[in-house]
Structure 1
């Protein structure tokens, strides 16, 4: 584990840029970027186009360590290059930004009000490869759709069980139990989730550290107890379908909670923009998210 990166993630101001759209979400990301499905004929072409989008973001003069702590990469992105360097090396060596890898393989079917992560039979191999590519940490997502105590307990246990495997492999896990922003009993689910998170954080051996990626809560500062827990290296927020303005406004009311935005980060970017227009939009987006993250 890179101690310099660890201390940066623990102490520095900034936010995490989520550049980890998977195969299921890539077409929508490309469409938002101005590239329709008709522009590519297969998955390989699709991923090449999204890598070009991600590379343009990473190369932007607005995309710097002054405001961005880390970036989350998709597995294919980790194994592709930005310029003449693999993506993680480009981020850290050229930008001073910590590289993180999405490791989950998608969501299982809904059961007990939640979608657990699908099995990850190749996780050990992926973690070895991640270390070879100089990745600092990982991210894995599951989703809560209902305030179902059984489902939430099972979901959080799965996240922490796999998180321990990731820590033992030398990487820092980001545990992401997303709560669907459209659910009618969101506050009740948040209460259940917080209690489970605190239970599992307290049960961790003192040497274990995890990061958490959570939906912005309805009650301001609701997760402060989680944020201040000694086993929580950092707690970050996903935009969850909110617009950038709405996500920033909600985030700014939650002290010590920082952003890890994907759609809200790339909102307004377009493949046809000139470099000046693209970089200006990036700068405005990054600055607004940064300001919301340092409250």
Structure 2
């Protein structure tokens, strides 16, 4: 079995979850502050990115961050381009930890229109996908944001997501389609009903040789995305934590039996730069166990 086939098999059917380690420029200071590294602790982007790479490296090398419970990890481009102990990050993930590497490819969100925020243009996407292939990346992720139950806005978001997904698939990578619904939206449940219908329409139109992963907000109506999880074009449906605490996110996820986690903030909750290695490994291990248990519930 080729590495790509082995990775596809793990993502499609193995027990576990996908870790999101892909905070970008806008969200990095918040992620670092959660970890106990304040803006006064670094000067400029270079030091900021060095600090977040040190945090991500510490997570990846932790005792419990292995294929036993972690299926994949989504990386920021700078993380993909960086090394851990002299070895490219994606190689460390797959060769040393048995964890499938993904890459965040979007350039952030456009301004709000029609109750949504679309993806910003990605004019250099083909070059980035080529580099991802060279680095041993299995799949990609791009995030849009839905703020209200606006049918036109949601249709536009999903259409754009699937257009990008087809471009990613044509490059030989597996796309994670992520049209997030804001957890504090006053019309969250209604937006999710519209979203589910739009996703189904686009899944039905995909060629038979294209498969996607769906990354979605945990729905207000448990089981809403069960049919999508069973669709022949879908490898897996994963859930984002969306700002929920680890315990709340895991409780909600456990009610959706065909979704697994792809958490970012909830994975790193309670971790601190000043912890000893034993303390850090214990805290991360507890989070991993909670997220794993919710994912296999």
Q: Alignment partner of 2:107: what SS?
A: coil
Tell me how far 1:162 sits from its aligned partner: 0.7
Secondary structure of the corresponding residue to residue 74 of structure 2:
strand
The residue aligned with 2:173 is 171
Q: Whole-Å Cα distance in 2 between the matches of residues 119 and 28 of structure 1? A: 24
Structure 2 equivalent of residue 191 of structure 1: 193
Aligned to 1:136: 138
**Structure 1 position 222, deviation (Å):** 1.0
Q: Is 1:12 aligned to residue 2 of structure 2?
A: no
Q: Is 1:46 aligned to residue 48 of structure 2? A: yes
Match of 2:249 in 1: 247
Alpha-carbon distance in structure 2 between the residues aligned to 1:280 and 1:97 = 20
Cα deviation per residue 1:179-217 (whole Å; 9 max; x = unaligned)? 000011111000000000000000111111000100000
Residue 154 of structure 1 is aligned with which of 142, 156, 171? 156
Aligned to 1:273: 275
Aligned residue in 2 for 1:285: 287
- Provide the rounded CA distance (Å) in 2 between the counterparts of 1:256 and 1:281: 27
Residue 112 of structure 1, CA deviation: 0.5
Is it true that 1:94 corresponds to 2:84 in the alignment? no
Q: Give the match for residue 203 of structure 1.
A: 205
List per-residue Cα deviations over 1:66-112 (Å, max 9, x = no partner). Answer: 00000000000000001121000000000000000000000000001
Please name the residue that 1:104 is paired with.
Answer: 106
Query: In 2, Cα distance between the equivalents of 1:161 and 1:201?
Result: 12
Cα RMSD for the two superposed structures: 0.6
Q: Give TM-score scaled by structure 2 length.
A: 0.99
Provide the rounded CA distance (Å) in 1 between the counterparts of 2:292 and 2:157: 30
Residues paired across the two proteins, number: 295
Give the TM-score normalised by the residue count of structure 1: 0.99
Structure 1 Cα separation of the partners of residues 224 and 157 of structure 2: 20
Query: Unaligned regions of 5+ residues in structure 2, if any?
Result: none
List gaps (5 residues or longer) in structure 1: none
The alignment partner of 1:255 has SS state of coil
